[in-house]
Structure 1
Protein backbone atom coordinates (compact mmCIF):
# COMPACT_ATOMS: atom_id res chain seq x y z
CA UNK A 1 0.00 0.00 0.00
CA UNK A 2 2.89 2.38 0.80
CA UNK A 3 4.48 1.69 -2.60
CA UNK A 4 1.17 2.34 -4.38
CA UNK A 5 0.66 5.58 -2.46
CA UNK A 6 4.19 6.73 -3.29
CA UNK A 7 3.60 5.97 -6.96
CA UNK A 8 0.39 8.04 -6.93
CA UNK A 9 2.22 10.90 -5.23
CA UNK A 10 4.83 10.89 -8.01
CA UNK A 11 2.30 10.43 -10.82
CA UNK A 12 -1.18 11.96 -10.28
CA UNK A 13 -2.44 10.03 -13.31
CA UNK A 14 -2.25 6.93 -11.12
CA UNK A 15 -4.31 8.78 -8.53
CA UNK A 16 -7.04 9.36 -11.10
CA UNK A 17 -6.92 5.74 -12.26
CA UNK A 18 -7.18 4.54 -8.65
CA UNK A 19 -10.46 6.49 -8.45
CA UNK A 20 -11.74 4.82 -11.62
CA UNK A 21 -10.92 7.63 -14.05
CA UNK A 22 -8.79 7.06 -17.15
CA UNK A 23 -7.60 10.57 -18.06
CA UNK A 24 -7.66 11.86 -21.61
CA UNK A 25 -4.18 12.65 -23.01
CA UNK A 26 -4.50 16.37 -22.31
CA UNK A 27 -5.63 15.67 -18.75
CA UNK A 28 -2.75 13.26 -18.17
CA UNK A 29 -0.25 15.82 -19.47
CA UNK A 30 -1.66 18.53 -17.21
CA UNK A 31 -1.63 16.27 -14.15
CA UNK A 32 1.97 15.27 -14.76
CA UNK A 33 3.36 18.70 -15.60
CA UNK A 34 1.31 20.53 -12.91
CA UNK A 35 2.14 24.03 -14.25
CA UNK A 36 2.34 26.90 -11.78
CA UNK A 37 -0.04 29.06 -13.80
CA UNK A 38 -2.54 27.52 -16.21
CA UNK A 39 -5.57 28.66 -18.21
CA UNK A 40 -7.92 25.86 -19.24
CA UNK A 41 -10.30 26.90 -22.02
CA UNK A 42 -12.53 23.85 -22.32
CA UNK A 43 -15.95 23.10 -23.72
CA UNK A 44 -18.85 21.79 -21.72
CA UNK A 45 -18.31 18.20 -20.55
CA UNK A 46 -14.70 18.14 -21.76
CA UNK A 47 -13.43 17.07 -18.33
CA UNK A 48 -12.07 20.32 -16.91
CA UNK A 49 -13.73 19.82 -13.52
CA UNK A 50 -12.39 16.27 -13.33
CA UNK A 51 -8.79 17.27 -13.99
CA UNK A 52 -9.12 20.19 -11.56
CA UNK A 53 -10.41 17.81 -8.89
CA UNK A 54 -7.35 15.58 -9.18
CA UNK A 55 -4.98 18.55 -9.19
CA UNK A 56 -6.63 19.58 -5.92
CA UNK A 57 -6.41 16.08 -4.47
CA UNK A 58 -2.77 15.62 -5.50
CA UNK A 59 -1.96 18.79 -3.56
CA UNK A 60 -4.14 18.13 -0.53
CA UNK A 61 -3.11 14.50 -0.11
CA UNK A 62 0.62 14.72 -0.80
CA UNK A 63 1.57 18.19 0.45
CA UNK A 64 1.20 18.09 4.25
CA UNK A 65 -0.62 21.09 5.74
CA UNK A 66 -1.48 22.34 2.26
CA UNK A 67 -4.17 24.97 1.79
CA UNK A 68 -6.26 24.74 -1.38
CA UNK A 69 -8.88 27.36 -2.27
CA UNK A 70 -11.59 26.66 -4.85
CA UNK A 71 -13.58 29.64 -6.10
CA UNK A 72 -16.46 30.04 -8.57
CA UNK A 73 -18.86 32.87 -9.47
CA UNK A 74 -21.35 31.60 -6.86
CA UNK A 75 -21.27 29.51 -3.71
CA UNK A 76 -23.45 26.89 -5.38
CA UNK A 77 -20.92 26.41 -8.19
CA UNK A 78 -18.02 26.24 -5.74
CA UNK A 79 -19.93 23.65 -3.72
CA UNK A 80 -20.51 21.52 -6.83
CA UNK A 81 -16.81 21.35 -7.65
CA UNK A 82 -16.09 20.71 -3.97
CA UNK A 83 -18.52 17.78 -4.00
CA UNK A 84 -16.75 16.37 -7.06
CA UNK A 85 -13.42 16.55 -5.25
CA UNK A 86 -14.74 14.89 -2.09
CA UNK A 87 -16.51 12.24 -4.17
CA UNK A 88 -13.28 11.21 -5.89
CA UNK A 89 -11.46 11.19 -2.56
CA UNK A 90 -13.98 8.67 -1.24
CA UNK A 91 -12.96 6.24 -4.01
CA UNK A 92 -9.27 6.30 -3.11
CA UNK A 93 -7.83 3.60 -0.85
CA UNK A 94 -4.98 4.26 1.55
CA UNK A 95 -4.90 8.07 1.30
CA UNK A 96 -5.14 10.55 4.20
CA UNK A 97 -8.67 10.45 5.58
CA UNK A 98 -11.08 13.31 6.03
CA UNK A 99 -11.22 14.40 9.67
CA UNK A 100 -13.65 17.28 9.17
CA UNK A 101 -16.07 18.15 6.36
CA UNK A 102 -19.00 20.40 5.61
CA UNK A 103 -20.35 21.91 2.40
CA UNK A 104 -17.59 24.53 2.29
CA UNK A 105 -14.54 22.97 3.92
CA UNK A 106 -12.61 19.70 4.16
CA UNK A 107 -9.71 18.91 6.45
CA UNK A 108 -7.51 15.85 6.08
CA UNK A 109 -5.54 13.77 8.57
CA UNK A 110 -2.27 15.20 7.18
CA UNK A 111 -3.38 18.74 8.09
CA UNK A 112 -4.29 19.83 4.57
CA UNK A 113 -7.44 21.86 3.97
CA UNK A 114 -9.71 22.59 1.01
CA UNK A 115 -11.96 25.67 1.12
CA UNK A 116 -14.80 26.31 -1.34
CA UNK A 117 -15.72 29.99 -1.69
CA UNK A 118 -17.78 32.22 -3.96
CA UNK A 119 -15.46 34.05 -6.33
CA UNK A 120 -15.61 37.62 -5.13
CA UNK A 121 -12.81 39.83 -3.91
CA UNK A 122 -14.57 40.31 -0.57
CA UNK A 123 -14.91 36.63 0.32
CA UNK A 124 -11.37 35.49 -0.44
CA UNK A 125 -9.33 38.45 0.78
CA UNK A 126 -7.32 37.62 3.90
CA UNK A 127 -6.21 34.09 3.05
CA UNK A 128 -2.44 33.64 2.84
CA UNK A 129 0.06 30.86 2.27
CA UNK A 130 -2.16 29.11 -0.26
CA UNK A 131 -0.64 26.18 -2.17
CA UNK A 132 -3.24 25.97 -4.94
CA UNK A 133 -6.06 28.22 -6.14
CA UNK A 134 -8.59 26.84 -8.61
CA UNK A 135 -10.88 29.40 -10.27
CA UNK A 136 -13.86 27.68 -11.86
CA UNK A 137 -15.90 29.48 -14.56
CA UNK A 138 -13.02 31.94 -14.56
CA UNK A 139 -14.36 34.06 -17.43
CA UNK A 140 -17.41 34.85 -15.29
CA UNK A 141 -15.80 35.98 -12.04
CA UNK A 142 -15.12 39.64 -11.36
CA UNK A 143 -11.83 41.15 -12.52
CA UNK A 144 -10.88 42.20 -8.99
CA UNK A 145 -10.66 38.54 -8.01
CA UNK A 146 -7.28 37.99 -9.66
CA UNK A 147 -5.82 41.00 -7.83
CA UNK A 148 -7.03 39.46 -4.56
CA UNK A 149 -5.72 35.98 -5.44
CA UNK A 150 -2.13 36.81 -6.37
CA UNK A 151 -1.03 37.94 -2.87
CA UNK A 152 -2.36 34.65 -1.46
CA UNK A 153 0.36 32.84 -3.45
CA UNK A 154 3.21 35.23 -2.76
CA UNK A 155 4.91 33.44 0.14
CA UNK A 156 5.06 29.99 -1.47
CA UNK A 157 7.32 29.76 -4.56
CA UNK A 158 5.72 26.47 -5.63
CA UNK A 159 2.13 27.67 -5.29
CA UNK A 160 -0.18 27.12 -8.27
CA UNK A 161 -3.07 28.96 -9.91
CA UNK A 162 -5.40 27.08 -12.28
CA UNK A 163 -8.28 28.86 -14.06
CA UNK A 164 -10.85 26.85 -16.01
CA UNK A 165 -13.79 28.04 -18.05
CA UNK A 166 -15.72 28.28 -21.28
CA UNK A 167 -15.61 31.68 -23.04
CA UNK A 168 -17.87 34.54 -21.98
CA UNK A 169 -17.19 37.19 -24.58
CA UNK A 170 -14.24 39.40 -25.38
CA UNK A 171 -14.00 40.93 -21.93
CA UNK A 172 -12.72 40.25 -18.46
CA UNK A 173 -9.40 39.14 -16.99
CA UNK A 174 -9.51 35.61 -18.38
CA UNK A 175 -9.91 36.82 -21.97
CA UNK A 176 -7.13 39.37 -21.47
CA UNK A 177 -4.85 36.66 -20.04
CA UNK A 178 -5.72 34.21 -22.81
CA UNK A 179 -4.79 36.60 -25.63
CA UNK A 180 -2.02 38.38 -23.70
CA UNK A 181 1.70 37.67 -23.53
CA UNK A 182 1.93 36.95 -19.79
CA UNK A 183 3.43 33.55 -19.00
CA UNK A 184 0.56 31.06 -18.63
CA UNK A 185 0.23 27.45 -19.67
CA UNK A 186 -2.73 27.62 -22.07
CA UNK A 187 -4.80 24.49 -22.69
CA UNK A 188 -7.63 24.53 -25.25
CA UNK A 189 -10.01 21.56 -25.48
CA UNK A 190 -13.05 21.92 -27.73
CA UNK A 191 -15.93 19.47 -27.80
CA UNK A 192 -14.45 17.89 -30.92
CA UNK A 193 -11.36 16.96 -28.89
CA UNK A 194 -13.40 15.02 -26.32
CA UNK A 195 -14.01 11.34 -27.21
CA UNK A 196 -17.05 11.14 -24.91
CA UNK A 197 -19.05 13.74 -26.86
CA UNK A 198 -20.66 12.33 -29.98
CA UNK A 199 -21.06 14.26 -33.22
CA UNK A 200 -24.80 13.52 -33.08
CA UNK A 201 -25.08 15.23 -29.70
CA UNK A 202 -23.17 18.24 -30.98
CA UNK A 203 -25.49 18.62 -33.96
CA UNK A 204 -28.50 18.47 -31.63
CA UNK A 205 -26.93 21.13 -29.44
CA UNK A 206 -26.17 23.34 -32.44
CA UNK A 207 -29.79 23.21 -33.55
CA UNK A 208 -31.07 23.82 -30.04
CA UNK A 209 -28.69 26.58 -28.95
CA UNK A 210 -28.12 28.41 -32.20
CA UNK A 211 -24.74 28.97 -33.90
CA UNK A 212 -23.38 31.78 -31.71
CA UNK A 213 -24.03 30.20 -28.32
CA UNK A 214 -22.96 26.79 -29.63
CA UNK A 215 -19.68 28.17 -30.95
CA UNK A 216 -19.02 29.74 -27.55
CA UNK A 217 -19.90 26.76 -25.37
CA UNK A 218 -18.54 23.95 -27.55
CA UNK A 219 -16.14 25.49 -30.09
CA UNK A 220 -14.63 27.99 -27.62
CA UNK A 221 -15.10 31.15 -29.64
CA UNK A 222 -14.86 34.52 -27.89
CA UNK A 223 -17.65 36.74 -29.23
CA UNK A 224 -18.25 40.46 -28.98
CA UNK A 225 -20.98 41.52 -26.57
CA UNK A 226 -24.30 41.33 -28.43
CA UNK A 227 -25.32 44.76 -27.09
CA UNK A 228 -22.05 46.45 -28.03
CA UNK A 229 -22.29 49.11 -30.74
CA UNK A 230 -18.76 48.46 -32.04
CA UNK A 231 -16.69 45.25 -32.07
CA UNK A 232 -13.82 45.01 -29.58
CA UNK A 233 -11.25 44.67 -32.36
CA UNK A 234 -12.48 47.89 -34.02
CA UNK A 235 -12.25 49.83 -30.76
CA UNK A 236 -8.74 48.48 -30.08
CA UNK A 237 -7.61 49.46 -33.57
CA UNK A 238 -8.65 53.07 -32.89
CA UNK A 239 -5.90 53.47 -30.28
CA UNK A 240 -2.21 53.84 -30.99
CA UNK A 241 0.65 53.83 -28.43
CA UNK A 242 2.63 56.06 -30.82
CA UNK A 243 0.31 59.04 -30.29
CA UNK A 244 1.09 61.06 -27.17
CA UNK A 245 -1.88 62.45 -25.19
CA UNK A 246 -2.42 66.21 -25.32
CA UNK A 247 -2.85 66.46 -21.54
Structure 2
Protein backbone atom coordinates (compact mmCIF):
# COMPACT_ATOMS: atom_id res chain seq x y z
CA UNK A 1 0.00 0.00 0.00
CA UNK A 2 1.14 3.59 -0.54
CA UNK A 3 2.08 5.51 2.58
CA UNK A 4 -1.13 6.60 4.29
CA UNK A 5 -1.90 10.31 4.42
CA UNK A 6 -4.63 12.17 6.27
CA UNK A 7 -6.68 12.16 3.07
CA UNK A 8 -6.18 8.40 2.69
CA UNK A 9 -7.61 7.82 6.16
CA UNK A 10 -10.67 9.89 5.26
CA UNK A 11 -11.04 8.18 1.89
CA UNK A 12 -10.72 4.73 3.45
CA UNK A 13 -13.51 5.58 5.91
CA UNK A 14 -15.82 7.25 3.39
CA UNK A 15 -15.95 5.78 -0.13
CA UNK A 16 -18.43 8.47 -1.21
CA UNK A 17 -16.00 11.28 -0.37
CA UNK A 18 -13.28 9.33 -2.17
CA UNK A 19 -15.49 8.80 -5.24
CA UNK A 20 -16.29 12.50 -5.47
CA UNK A 21 -12.82 13.90 -4.83
CA UNK A 22 -10.60 11.27 -6.43
CA UNK A 23 -12.71 9.64 -9.15
CA UNK A 24 -14.75 12.70 -10.03
CA UNK A 25 -17.82 10.47 -9.68
CA UNK A 26 -20.83 12.02 -7.95
CA UNK A 27 -23.18 9.22 -6.92
CA UNK A 28 -26.94 9.59 -6.61
CA UNK A 29 -28.40 9.24 -3.10
CA UNK A 30 -29.07 5.51 -3.41
CA UNK A 31 -25.63 4.96 -4.94
CA UNK A 32 -24.04 6.75 -1.99
CA UNK A 33 -25.97 4.48 0.39
CA UNK A 34 -24.72 1.45 -1.52
CA UNK A 35 -21.08 2.61 -1.42
CA UNK A 36 -21.28 3.16 2.35
CA UNK A 37 -23.12 -0.06 3.11
CA UNK A 38 -21.31 -2.88 4.87
CA UNK A 39 -24.13 -5.39 4.43
CA UNK A 40 -23.03 -8.90 3.50
CA UNK A 41 -25.96 -9.44 1.11
CA UNK A 42 -27.26 -6.74 -1.22
CA UNK A 43 -29.74 -7.09 -4.06
CA UNK A 44 -30.35 -4.31 -6.58
CA UNK A 45 -33.47 -4.33 -8.77
CA UNK A 46 -32.77 -1.37 -11.04
CA UNK A 47 -33.91 0.35 -14.20
CA UNK A 48 -31.73 0.10 -17.26
CA UNK A 49 -29.01 2.78 -17.35
CA UNK A 50 -29.47 3.61 -13.67
CA UNK A 51 -25.75 3.32 -12.92
CA UNK A 52 -25.70 0.08 -10.92
CA UNK A 53 -22.63 -1.39 -12.66
CA UNK A 54 -20.74 1.91 -12.46
CA UNK A 55 -21.38 2.14 -8.72
CA UNK A 56 -20.27 -1.45 -8.15
CA UNK A 57 -17.09 -0.83 -10.16
CA UNK A 58 -16.29 2.11 -7.85
CA UNK A 59 -17.07 -0.08 -4.84
CA UNK A 60 -14.73 -2.78 -6.11
CA UNK A 61 -11.87 -0.35 -6.67
CA UNK A 62 -12.29 1.24 -3.24
CA UNK A 63 -12.10 -2.16 -1.56
CA UNK A 64 -9.10 -3.16 -3.71
CA UNK A 65 -7.17 -0.10 -2.53
CA UNK A 66 -8.28 0.33 1.08
CA UNK A 67 -9.16 -3.14 2.36
CA UNK A 68 -6.82 -6.07 2.88
CA UNK A 69 -7.21 -8.84 2.09
CA UNK A 70 -9.54 -8.07 -0.78
CA UNK A 71 -10.57 -10.32 -3.64
CA UNK A 72 -13.28 -8.91 -5.90
CA UNK A 73 -14.86 -11.28 -8.42
CA UNK A 74 -17.29 -10.22 -11.15
CA UNK A 75 -19.57 -12.80 -12.75
CA UNK A 76 -22.12 -12.15 -15.50
CA UNK A 77 -23.96 -14.09 -18.22
CA UNK A 78 -21.15 -13.49 -20.73
CA UNK A 79 -17.54 -12.34 -20.88
CA UNK A 80 -18.61 -9.17 -22.68
CA UNK A 81 -20.91 -8.25 -19.79
CA UNK A 82 -18.41 -8.97 -17.03
CA UNK A 83 -15.75 -7.21 -19.10
CA UNK A 84 -17.97 -4.12 -19.29
CA UNK A 85 -17.91 -3.74 -15.51
CA UNK A 86 -14.16 -4.41 -15.57
CA UNK A 87 -13.76 -1.59 -18.11
CA UNK A 88 -15.54 0.80 -15.73
CA UNK A 89 -13.21 -0.42 -12.96
CA UNK A 90 -10.19 0.38 -15.15
CA UNK A 91 -11.54 3.81 -16.07
CA UNK A 92 -11.86 4.68 -12.42
CA UNK A 93 -8.41 3.21 -11.68
CA UNK A 94 -6.86 5.56 -14.22
CA UNK A 95 -8.06 8.49 -12.06
CA UNK A 96 -6.20 7.22 -9.00
CA UNK A 97 -2.53 8.07 -8.53
CA UNK A 98 -0.87 4.77 -7.68
CA UNK A 99 2.88 4.04 -7.42
CA UNK A 100 4.37 2.43 -10.52
CA UNK A 101 5.00 -0.82 -8.62
CA UNK A 102 1.49 -0.99 -7.14
CA UNK A 103 0.24 -3.41 -9.81
CA UNK A 104 1.83 -6.82 -10.30
CA UNK A 105 -0.69 -8.07 -12.90
CA UNK A 106 -2.83 -5.98 -15.22
CA UNK A 107 -4.95 -7.48 -18.00
CA UNK A 108 -8.36 -6.70 -19.46
CA UNK A 109 -10.04 -9.15 -17.10
CA UNK A 110 -7.73 -9.33 -14.09
CA UNK A 111 -5.81 -6.95 -11.85
CA UNK A 112 -3.49 -8.07 -9.07
CA UNK A 113 -2.09 -5.45 -6.74
CA UNK A 114 1.33 -5.68 -5.14
CA UNK A 115 -0.30 -6.11 -1.71
CA UNK A 116 -1.95 -9.31 -2.96
CA UNK A 117 -5.42 -7.89 -3.52
CA UNK A 118 -7.17 -9.02 -6.71
CA UNK A 119 -10.09 -7.95 -8.89
CA UNK A 120 -11.14 -10.37 -11.61
CA UNK A 121 -13.99 -10.60 -14.14
CA UNK A 122 -15.17 -13.98 -15.37
CA UNK A 123 -17.65 -15.03 -18.10
CA UNK A 124 -20.95 -16.78 -17.38
CA UNK A 125 -19.59 -20.29 -17.04
CA UNK A 126 -19.93 -22.42 -13.94
CA UNK A 127 -16.72 -24.28 -14.84
CA UNK A 128 -14.64 -21.13 -15.34
CA UNK A 129 -15.75 -19.48 -12.10
CA UNK A 130 -15.85 -22.25 -9.51
CA UNK A 131 -12.06 -22.56 -9.11
CA UNK A 132 -11.74 -19.41 -6.98
CA UNK A 133 -11.87 -19.22 -3.19
CA UNK A 134 -11.73 -16.66 -0.38
CA UNK A 135 -13.71 -14.09 -2.38
CA UNK A 136 -14.44 -11.01 -0.25
CA UNK A 137 -16.64 -9.14 -2.75
CA UNK A 138 -18.75 -11.08 -5.24
CA UNK A 139 -20.43 -8.86 -7.84
CA UNK A 140 -23.08 -10.57 -9.94
CA UNK A 141 -24.01 -8.35 -12.88
CA UNK A 142 -27.17 -8.88 -14.97
CA UNK A 143 -28.14 -11.41 -12.30
CA UNK A 144 -31.58 -12.06 -13.79
CA UNK A 145 -29.85 -13.69 -16.77
CA UNK A 146 -27.14 -15.53 -14.83
CA UNK A 147 -27.84 -19.27 -14.86
CA UNK A 148 -28.78 -20.81 -11.55
CA UNK A 149 -25.89 -23.28 -11.88
CA UNK A 150 -23.41 -20.41 -11.85
CA UNK A 151 -25.10 -18.72 -8.90
CA UNK A 152 -25.10 -21.96 -6.91
CA UNK A 153 -21.43 -22.64 -7.68
CA UNK A 154 -20.11 -19.19 -6.68
CA UNK A 155 -21.99 -18.81 -3.39
CA UNK A 156 -19.64 -21.20 -1.48
CA UNK A 157 -16.68 -18.93 -2.34
CA UNK A 158 -17.89 -16.59 0.41
CA UNK A 159 -18.07 -19.22 3.15
CA UNK A 160 -14.58 -18.93 4.66
CA UNK A 161 -13.95 -15.27 3.86
CA UNK A 162 -17.39 -14.22 5.16
CA UNK A 163 -17.45 -12.13 2.00
CA UNK A 164 -20.09 -9.86 0.55
CA UNK A 165 -22.47 -10.70 -2.29
CA UNK A 166 -24.03 -8.01 -4.47
CA UNK A 167 -26.63 -9.00 -7.07
CA UNK A 168 -27.57 -6.29 -9.56
CA UNK A 169 -29.99 -6.52 -12.43
CA UNK A 170 -33.01 -5.39 -14.34
CA UNK A 171 -35.77 -8.06 -14.20
CA UNK A 172 -36.06 -10.70 -16.90
CA UNK A 173 -39.30 -12.54 -16.27
CA UNK A 174 -40.55 -14.53 -13.31
CA UNK A 175 -37.80 -17.14 -13.33
CA UNK A 176 -34.37 -17.88 -11.95
CA UNK A 177 -32.66 -17.13 -8.67
CA UNK A 178 -32.79 -13.32 -9.02
CA UNK A 179 -36.60 -13.39 -9.19
CA UNK A 180 -36.83 -16.02 -6.44
CA UNK A 181 -34.61 -14.06 -4.07
CA UNK A 182 -36.42 -10.79 -4.77
CA UNK A 183 -39.87 -12.36 -4.52
CA UNK A 184 -39.39 -14.79 -1.62
CA UNK A 185 -36.22 -13.93 0.35
CA UNK A 186 -35.84 -10.18 0.05
CA UNK A 187 -36.05 -9.83 3.84
CA UNK A 188 -32.69 -11.60 4.09
CA UNK A 189 -30.99 -8.98 1.90
CA UNK A 190 -30.40 -5.26 1.96
CA UNK A 191 -32.47 -4.35 -1.07
CA UNK A 192 -32.80 -1.43 -3.45
CA UNK A 193 -35.54 -0.86 -6.02
CA UNK A 194 -34.56 1.92 -8.42
CA UNK A 195 -37.06 2.86 -11.13
CA UNK A 196 -35.96 5.13 -13.97
CA UNK A 197 -37.54 8.20 -12.36
CA UNK A 198 -34.87 8.02 -9.64
CA UNK A 199 -32.12 8.46 -12.24
CA UNK A 200 -31.62 12.15 -13.09
CA UNK A 201 -29.78 11.23 -16.29
CA UNK A 202 -32.92 9.71 -17.87
CA UNK A 203 -35.24 12.43 -19.14
CA UNK A 204 -39.05 12.38 -18.73
CA UNK A 205 -39.34 12.90 -22.47
CA UNK A 206 -37.36 9.74 -23.21
CA UNK A 207 -39.45 7.72 -20.76
CA UNK A 208 -42.69 9.03 -22.24
CA UNK A 209 -41.65 7.83 -25.69
CA UNK A 210 -40.48 4.47 -24.36
CA UNK A 211 -43.78 3.97 -22.55
CA UNK A 212 -45.62 4.37 -25.86
CA UNK A 213 -43.34 2.20 -27.97
CA UNK A 214 -41.53 -0.36 -25.80
CA UNK A 215 -43.65 -3.37 -24.72
CA UNK A 216 -41.05 -4.14 -22.05
CA UNK A 217 -41.32 -0.68 -20.55
CA UNK A 218 -42.44 -1.80 -17.08
CA UNK A 219 -39.66 -4.38 -16.93
CA UNK A 220 -36.85 -2.22 -18.30
CA UNK A 221 -37.68 0.98 -16.42
CA UNK A 222 -40.01 0.18 -13.51
CA UNK A 223 -38.37 -2.98 -12.11
CA UNK A 224 -41.42 -5.18 -12.79
CA UNK A 225 -41.03 -8.94 -13.21
CA UNK A 226 -43.22 -9.67 -16.24
CA UNK A 227 -44.61 -13.04 -17.27
CA UNK A 228 -42.39 -14.93 -19.70
CA UNK A 229 -43.68 -15.06 -23.28
CA UNK A 230 -43.83 -18.86 -23.38
CA UNK A 231 -45.86 -19.24 -20.16
CA UNK A 232 -49.27 -20.90 -20.50
CA UNK A 233 -50.18 -19.98 -16.91
CA UNK A 234 -49.11 -16.96 -14.88
CA UNK A 235 -46.70 -17.36 -11.96
CA UNK A 236 -49.54 -16.51 -9.53
CA UNK A 237 -51.78 -19.20 -11.04
CA UNK A 238 -49.10 -21.86 -10.67
CA UNK A 239 -48.27 -20.73 -7.11
CA UNK A 240 -51.97 -20.92 -6.17
CA UNK A 241 -52.07 -24.64 -6.99
CA UNK A 242 -49.52 -25.44 -4.27
CA UNK A 243 -50.72 -25.95 -0.70
CA UNK A 244 -49.00 -27.08 2.49
CA UNK A 245 -52.35 -28.01 4.04
CA UNK A 246 -53.11 -30.96 1.75
CA UNK A 247 -51.78 -34.32 2.87
CA UNK A 248 -49.85 -36.18 0.14
CA UNK A 249 -51.66 -39.11 -1.43
CA UNK A 250 -49.76 -42.28 -0.62
CA UNK A 251 -50.49 -45.29 -2.77
CA UNK A 252 -49.48 -48.71 -1.53
CA UNK A 253 -47.92 -50.86 -4.20
CA UNK A 254 -48.83 -54.51 -3.73
CA UNK A 255 -46.05 -57.00 -3.39
CA UNK A 256 -46.03 -59.69 -6.07
SS at match of 1:56: helix
The residue that corresponds to 2:95 in the other structure is: 91
Aligned counterpart in structure 1 of residue 6 of structure 2, from 3, 15, 26: 3
Q: What TM-score, normalized to structure 1?
A: 0.94
Given candidates 183, 188, 202, the residue that maps to 1:183 is: 188
Q: Partner of 2:23 in structure 1?
A: 19
Superposition pairs of residues 38-57 of structure 1, within 5 angstroms: 38-57=42-61
Residue 185 of structure 1 deviates from its aligned partner by 0.7
Please identify the structure whose Cα radius of gyration is greater: 2
- Residue in structure 1 matched with residue 174 of structure 2 by the alignment: 170
> Does residue 83 of structure 2 align to residue 79 of structure 1?
yes
Give the Cα separation in 2 of the matches to 1:64 and 1:38: 21
Q: 1:225 aligns with which of 221, 228, 231?
A: 228
- Say whether residues 1:198 and 2:203 are aligned partners: yes
Greater displacement, 86-95 / 48-57: 86-95
2: distance between equivalents of 1:14 and 1:245?
Answer: 58
- RMSD of aligned Cα (Å): 1.6
Displacement after TM superposition at 1:195 (Å): 1.2
Give CA-to-partner distance per residue, 1:179-210, whole Å, 9 cap, x none.
11351111011101111111011122223323
In the alignment, is the contact (CA less than 8 A) between 1:15 and 1:54 conserved in 2? no
| Aligned match of 2:253 | none
Q: Does 1:215 align with 2:215?
A: no
Q: What's the TM-score, normalizing by structure 2?
A: 0.91
SS at match of 1:218: helix
SS of match in other structure, 2:222: coil
Offset from partner CA, 1:108-164 (integer Å, 9 cap, x none):
23221111101232211121111110000000010122221121001113x100010
1:103 corresponding residue in structure 2 = 108
SS class of match (2:188): coil
Q: Distance in 1 between matches of 2:48 and 2:243?
A: 37
Q: Give a deviation string over 1:197-239, Cα, whole Å, max 9, x none.
A: 11011122223323xx111000111011111111010010011
Q: Residue 118 of structure 2 aligns with which residue?
A: 113
Q: Structure 1 stretch 116-125 or stretch 190-199: which is displaced more?
A: 116-125
Question: Gaps spanning 5+ residues in structure 2: where?
Answer: 251-256
1:31 matched to 2:50? The reply is no
* Aligned-partner Cα distance in 2 for 1:145–1:246: 35
Contact 1:120/1:141 (8 A) holds in 2:
no
- CA distance in 1 between counterparts of 2:44 and 2:125 reads 20
**Equivalent runs, 1:50-69 vs 2, <5 Å:** 50-69=54-73
SS state at 1:163 partner: strand
